[in-house]
Chain A
Amino acid sequence: MATITATPGLGSRTTEGAAIRAADLLRWSLDHKVIGLQYMASSLFFFIVGGTMAMLIRWELLTPALDLMADGTQYNALMTIHGSVMIFLWIIPMMAGFGNYLVPLMLGAKDMAFPWLNAFAFWLIPPAGVLMIAGWLVGPPEAGWTSYPPLSTLFSPDGQTMWAMSLHLLGVSSILGAINFVVTIRNMRPAGMTIWKMPLFVWAVLATAIIQVLATPFLTGGLTLLILDRTAGTSFFDPGSGGDVLLWQNVFWFYSHPAVYIMILPGFGMVSEVLAVHARKPVFGYRAIGLSSMSIALVGFTVWAHHMFTSLQPALRIPFMITSMIIAVPTGIKIFSWLGTIWGGKIRFTAAMLFALGFITLFVFGGIGGIFLAAVPVDIHLHDTYFVVGHFHFVLFGGSVFLIFAGIYHWFPKMTGRRMNERLGQLHFVTTYIGTFFTFVPQHIAGALGLPRRVAMYDPAFTNINTVISLAAFLLGISSLIFMYNILRSLSHGERVGGNPWRGLTLEWATTSPPPPWNFRGDPVPFDDPYGYGSDESGPYLDAVERRFPAPEEAAGA
């Protein structure tokens, strides 16, 4: 299938023979590994930025009255930027970072299909981040990350326009990156790797890229209309001049619901890798997992209006309830398949595995909450309450972010040649798990009891439960600092490893850690079954990989 190969000679690699250094991340580079790390480093930066905002939000909500903020507008601005940063500058680019780093390696390729386009897609992100944050200088957006008109057109200050421009850039970045993934995965698989022998992470990236290519243009289109309404005097969303406020809601959610899967599907791919490697057992139901990614991508396009159950024309609510219920089935198949994967395995409790297991237990809670929200009569009560806030944080934090953590612990040795500290990893896991549970479960309860979302001031009856939520959220803040410390410390002090510290069968492990400039010396031959753990052939294969890419000798006499 290797009909396209990266063109050698597209400029020299900055990583000749050596590990990628911090300074390389600030330079234009066509190396997919550098670009992957650039995505990840910038995302981690914005994780800290968005996390700091979350801490301020929870501080404000310790009491029913305004105390930290001068007025509701400041709170609304903070909540708007927190959501936008976490979604568009942390989770989505972080997943793109994993995809960039890992997909060519898993395919045994030298690079992505379009290295220049790849670099260009990344370099759209820093200006987008600046535009988003700099909105504060001109009056920040205050209409929430969903930015419904007329609040976002007639009332929100100029930062709202900058917010829309920022999302424009991020949308273009996302589309360009996705096209690159589709072409790469379609054309650059090594001889012998049929589509049914691709690692599940590659399957998931393919499904994600298809969603991004099809859905993101709707966001950029909607944003264009929003910018025109705000700056050029058009009235697409202004009912006073013949516009329609529901038009925005439809277009926005036609992208933003599939975006939910853009944020979680790559994580689903990562957890399949992590569970199989650390439970030493083949993925259970490989085809079902790969196909369920595709069916989620497909059905995901038919459920958007369940975000509008209280604004949509009543007659249209039931059809969207049915599609929303249906999408629970492929998600359930994945959960059961992962349980089947660890069942009968030999589970190693590495930090990566802890986060993968923690993800299963948390994500199923988020999924059950999703069924509540899909049932129209129940959603009428729960819509736009803290139940929804708890739900999407469960699937985004307990889901996507847990999987990002699992992925970082799992592939950090490949990227740096050093293992992260497992003790700190365990501490990070325990604090994160407790923090997640006690932040987001009480939010479900508060919402069902009557607390609306996006409020800076609330009924004093909710003081106690909000105090619990805030304290648990502060624990999450601390746990994230432990994680950042672990990363920084392990970059220089982590235990050095060879090419394949976890004894994985996928191709990224069949080279040095970190891989050489063009990834492999010679053309790598993939092991026939990417999840053939426990088979008679896998042991000798893994031993051979270990002999070829051994861990470096510790300094003599050390």
Chain B
Amino acid sequence: MNPSNNSNSLMTVVWILVAFVLLVVGGLIIAEATPLVLPPAASAEAVQVDELFKILMALGGSIWLLVQGAVIYSVIRFRARPGDDSDGASIHGNSTLEFVWTLIPSITVVILSIISFQVWVNITTAQENAQVVEARGARFLWSFSYDIPGETQNVNSTVLHTWVGQPVVLNLETADVNHAFWVPSMRIKQDLLAGRSTEARFTPILAGEYPVVCAELCGSGHGDMHSSIVVHEDEASFLDWFDEEAFIILNPPDDPAEGGQLLMTAGGVAGLYACAGCHTLEALGWDAIVAPNLENVADRAATRVPGMEVERYLLRSLFFPGEFLVPGYDNLMPQHQYQDPEEANYMPLDEALDIVAYLCTLTASGESACNVDMLPDVMTEMGMG
């Protein structure tokens, strides 16, 4: 081997080292962008997932720079000059090089698999003293029910409340098609499968309100199927919130219309009905458009079927939604049942009466359009009570 050959191969080694350092530094810089492309990490699990994400960003960034660099270098260095019609060197391969670029990716994916497995074990290990939440997805609303330690009143709500440091385990069931329970800030996602019960768990570490999103196509209102998780500072502030809500439930308003509004309101402890998933009603902050608009619904209910009273129309619509379809809308509303409390769409008759009483107040004048006292009679006439 002559000296010039030696210095050539030395230069090659130096260039490879320089390129390697540049790629590593470049990858690390790209990895610093991780927080920019992820929502704030609000759970203990999210912190671990983000660490793995960052490793992938660094590694992926290096590979990306390597390939871009090689292509850009090649098109500049190896472009055919004008008038040069010759061919490139007749090189068919290099066993050493091919071995190296098979071996390095192989080792890399093995290491990545091991790290991913560790993170996976960490984030799925069951925590003690977890708050158990029964979560239900129905087209197109989430609802949560859970007990409060030491309290008899349980919580049924479209918003999930918990507090910092409290592990939460969710038992997920669907009322109809598949959904997916996703909380981007917690980095958890789990499909709800028809006919099965599935599970998700997380431990919040940051107080705040975080969106819950449906991530599995479930029909026309899929993009509108969202709710939120409220993480309180600590258990004490969580219980303060609960006491306020529980007081309302334990001391129900005398006016049935107020009671009905409470039943339909998302966010309280009792608002279990999924009306907000499909209807619009500005007073309650609903903006979904899958089902008919409820603004001033009592005015329209009076005119929809000639000869039919408002209260009868509204009550029948609650239990037999297919009977009077508003033009342009499909029969998508859950068919409520009033006989069997085990039924998924169970609605007790007294709650139905309160809801109708509230709907009757939705008029342009603000005056109730019905005679609330006659509702029980209507119910009896319909063979429902």
Contacts and interface: CB of A to CB of B under 8 A. Distances in A.
Interface of A: 66, 71-73, 76, 142-144, 148-151, 154-155, 239-240, 243-246, 279-288, 310-311, 314, 317-318, 321-322, 325-326, 328-329, 332-333, 335-337, 339-340, 342-349, 357, 360-361, 364-365, 368-369, 371-372, 375-378, 380-381, 383-385, 444-445, 448-450, 452-459, 531-535, 538-539
Nearest to A446: B37
A345 B223 contact: no
Nearest to B107: A329
Contact of B120 (A148, A376, A450): A376
Contact of B213 (A76, A154, A340, A450): A450
Given A333-B102, A342-B74, A384-B189, 10 more contacts: A332-B101, A332-B105, A343-B78, A347-B78, A371-B59, A371-B60, A454-B217, A457-B223, A458-B223, A533-B90
A336 B99 CA distance: 11
18 contacts: A71-B290, A154-B176, A318-B117, A321-B116, A328-B105, A332-B101, A361-B67, A364-B63, A364-B68, A381-B187, A383-B189, A384-B216, A450-B185, A452-B223, A457-B223, A457-B224, A531-B92, A534-B87
Interface string B90-104: 111110011001100
Contacts of A73: 219-220
Contacts of A539: 87
A246 B192 CA distance: 11
B29 interface: no
A364 B226 CA distance: 35
Interface in B339-363: none
A346 B86 contact: yes
Contact of A245 (B87, B113, B178): B178
B18 to A, nearest CB: 18
Contacts of A339: 67, 70-71, 74
Interface of B: 37-39, 48-49, 52-53, 56, 59-60, 63-64, 67-68, 70-71, 74-75, 78-80, 84, 86-94, 97-98, 101-102, 105-106, 109-110, 112-113, 116-117, 119-120, 123-124, 176-178, 180, 182, 184-185, 187-191, 193-196, 198, 211, 213-224, 226, 289-290
Contacts of A368: 60, 63-64
Nearest to A369: B60
A318 B115 CA distance: 12
Contacts of B67: 335, 339, 360-361, 364
B214 A151 contact: no
Contact of A378 (B52, B70, B80, B185): B52
Contacts of B88: 279-281, 344-346, 533-534
Contacts of A244: 195
Contacts of B59: 371
Nearest to A61: B223
Closest 9 pairs (CB-CB, A-B): A239-B195, A455-B223, A72-B220, A281-B88, A534-B90, A450-B184, A345-B88, A368-B60, A457-B223
